[in-house]
Amino acid sequence: MLKINDLNVSIDSSSILNGINLEISKGDIVALLGPNGHGKSTLFHSIMGNPRYVVNKGNIIFNGEDITKMDVSTRSKKGLFLAFQNPPEISGVMTLDFFKNSLNSHLDKPIKLLDFYKKTTQAYEDVGLDSSFIERNLNEGFSGGEKKRNEIIQLQLLSPTLAMLDEIDSGLDVDALSSIAKVINNMHEKGTTFILISHYDKLFSLINPNKTFVIINGKVALSGDGLLAKRISKEGYSFIEKEFKIKIEKKEKQVSIGSCGVKQVI
């Protein structure tokens, strides 16, 4: 379903991904792991087509089609979805309008109001969020957990074929986490493929990954089945350095700030 070949990506001319190769099949639940700052979210943004992330080399094949140069909305209509690690707050855009317009842009003809009402009411109930949130501006003033629940409502409405969820469990209380895991497992049963980034074992005890990729230094350093994710949860990343001789290093970027402002004033 998804094949990534030698993907090299930079942001604001800083090189972040240095030759990512991976393959995901329909029906997989993939755990995408790796230490902080090694490129996991960058990979998601690159797959989704965020224009800030520049692909310098390599390609992304989705369902046999090269999507590397396609814009975000085209990729979304082809069935890709990204739930953000940090969902942005959009002032002046009511959640209801956002949901209705994004849903309609994926349909041949606009959804009937009653169907939209039924769909959203169910989705709010599934994630345990009061449906009055639909009248608030998108994510504005939402708590961390409320933003994450809102991402899952979008996921349910758009019903993608490949969903990438970036730290969907961060900020969620225990009850919300199990509700959301239930939604993900239900959607998976109905055919959605998932890639999940998480730093916590709890998510992977509720949703069983069958594949694991570990991103280190902007590359897939290690891959395996679901047991690899469980081992990392238990032992951390240090065994990768010892057993596989992969050095986990963060290159310090040389940043020039020019001449020191304070010095100049003095």
Ligand X SMILES: Nc1ncnc2c1ncn2[C@@H]1O[C@H](COP(=O)(O)OP(=O)(O)OP(=O)(O)O)[C@@H](O)[C@H]1O
Contacts with ligand X, residue ranges (CB under 6 A) = 11-12, 14, 16, 34, 36-42, 85
Residue 38 binds which one of Mg ion, ligand X, none, with CB within 5 to 8 A depending on kind? ligand X
Q: What is the smallest separation between the CB atom of 11 and ligand X, expressed in angstroms?
A: 4
Which value, to the nearest 10 degrees, does the dihedral of the CA atoms of residues 97, 101, 102, 104 take?
Answer: 140
Q: Between 40 and 219, whose beta carbon lies closer to ligand X?
A: 40
Between 42 and 120, whose beta carbon lies closer to ligand X? 42
11 binds, among ligand X, Mg ion, none (CB under 5 to 8 A by kind): ligand X
The one of Mg ion, ligand X, none whose footprint includes residue 16, by CB under 5 to 8 A per kind, is ligand X
Q: Which residues bind Mg ion (CB under 5 A)?
A: 40-41, 85
Tell me the closest approach of the beta carbon of residue 253 to ligand X, in angstroms.
Answer: 7
Residue 213 to residues 50, 59, 114, 145, 176, Cα–Cα distance (Å): 22, 18, 42, 26, 26
Task: Show contacts of 123-128: CB within 8 Å, 24+ apart.
Answer: 123/152, 123/153, 123/156, 123/157, 124/153, 126/152, 126/156, 126/179, 126/182, 126/183, 127/152, 127/153, 127/176, 127/179, 127/180, 127/183, 128/175, 128/176, 128/179
Q: How many CB atoms lie within 10 A of CB 74?
A: 12
Q: What is the enclosing helix (H) or strand (E) of 11?
A: strand 2-11
Rounded to a whole number of angstroms, the minimum distance from the CB of residue 133 to ligand X is 26
CB of 164 to ligand X, least distance (A): 12
Q: Which residue minimizes CB distance to Mg ion?
A: 41
Q: How far is the CB of 250 from ligand X (least distance, A)?
A: 7
Give which of ligand X, Mg ion, none residue 93 binds (C-beta under 5 to 8 Å, depending on kind).
none
Compute the distance between CA of residue 57 and CA of residue 159 in angstroms, rounded to an integer: 31
Judged by beta carbon, residue 12 or residue 130, the one nearer ligand X is: 12
Q: Which is nearer to Mg ion, 48 or 129 (CB)?
A: 48
In the bound state with ligand X, the residue whose beta carbon lies nearer, of 19 and 128, is 19
Tell me which of ligand X, Mg ion, none is bound by residue 96, counting a contact when its beta carbon lies within the kind-specific cut-off of 5 to 8 angstroms.
none
CB burial class (10 A; 0-12, 13-18, 19+) of residue 29?
A: buried
Residue 36 binding target from ligand X, Mg ion, none, CB below 5 to 8 Å by type: ligand X
- The torsion of the CA quartet 15, 17, 19, 22, rounded to 10 degrees, works out to -170
